Homo-oligomer: A and B are copies of this chain.
């Protein structure tokens, strides 16, 4: 084989974006940015014309969105932006507690690398707050921190599941915050959680997480009901 030991091109990375992917990306962006209200029908022809691609391509992109839970397909009635229900939010938070709780419980058996990821994700979140980053970015960093907690389990599948849950949350937040943007500062709370972890006080950390998720759920559900 012609494989070199040092692999000098390891950092190179070609963006292999198919048309379908780019269409899906654009639709995702529009949903998260709140340009598309929940329940908005996503007409294939309109999107195809608007983006300058063909209908089959749009169709494929839509099935991707549906698989991700960002949209709903009703037979013979097309695809529309999913509407986050209060029950869904409650379920997402319950599921998050299971996944993130599992991560916390495995703090001690996690690798140094995984622990470092939690710290650095928290640091990035704090830095974003202090630099007055955009609302979107704060959300992103915040949720990335919670994903990193699941990363402590070392299980790619659990992380993937958490990322799915986070997508649903982002959808709900996009709907809620389209009306009133309230990305309030939660850095202290998260920093306290990490301190408990560093102190190996896992039970306290878990209790902390329980309260934190309950709070988040309460806020989102409340805001959702006002819609």
A94 lies within 8 A of chain B by Cβ: yes
Question: Does A63 lie at the interface of the complex (its beta carbon under 8 Å from any beta carbon of B)?
Answer: yes
Interface check A156, CB cutoff 8 A: yes
A98 close to B95 (CB less than 8 A): no
Docked complex: A154-193 residues within 8 A CB-CB of B: 154-158, 161, 165
Rounded to whole angstroms, the CA-CA distance of A99 and B154 in the bound complex is 15
Q: B161 near A16 (CB under 8 angstroms)?
A: no
The answer to whether B155 and A95 touch across the interface, beta carbons within 8 angstroms, is yes
Q: How far is the CA of A165 from the CA of B63 in the complex (A)?
A: 21
Interface size in chain A (residues, C-beta < 8 A)? 24
Find out whether the CB atom of A91 lies under 8 angstroms from the CB atom of B161.
no
- Would A75 and B16 count as touching, CB distance under 8 A? yes
Return the chain B residue nearest A162 by Cβ: B161
A interface majority secondary structure: helix
Q: Give CA–CA (A64, B67) in the complex, Å.
A: 8
Contact with B along A137-165 (1 / 0, CB 8 A): 00000000000000001111110010001
The reply to whether the CB of A202 lies closer than 8 angstroms to some CB of chain B is no
**A61 to chain B: closest CB distance in Å?**
10
When distances are taken between beta carbons in the complex, the residues of chain B under 8 Å from A91 are 155-157
For the complex, is A18 an interface residue (Cβ under 8 Å from B)? yes
> In whole angstroms, how far apart are the Cα atoms of A196 and B56 in the complex?
54
Within 8 A of B (CB), among A41-63: 56, 59-60, 63
Which of B63, B75, B94, B98 has a CB less than 8 Å from the CB of A98? B98
Closest partner residue, chain B, to A150 (CB atom): B98
Contact B63 A153 (CB under 8 A): no
A92 contacts the other chain (Cβ, under 8 Å)? yes
A75 touches B18 (CB 8 A): yes
Residues in chain A within 8 A of chain B (CB atoms): 16, 18, 56, 59-60, 63-64, 67, 75, 91-92, 94-95, 98-99, 102, 153-158, 161, 165
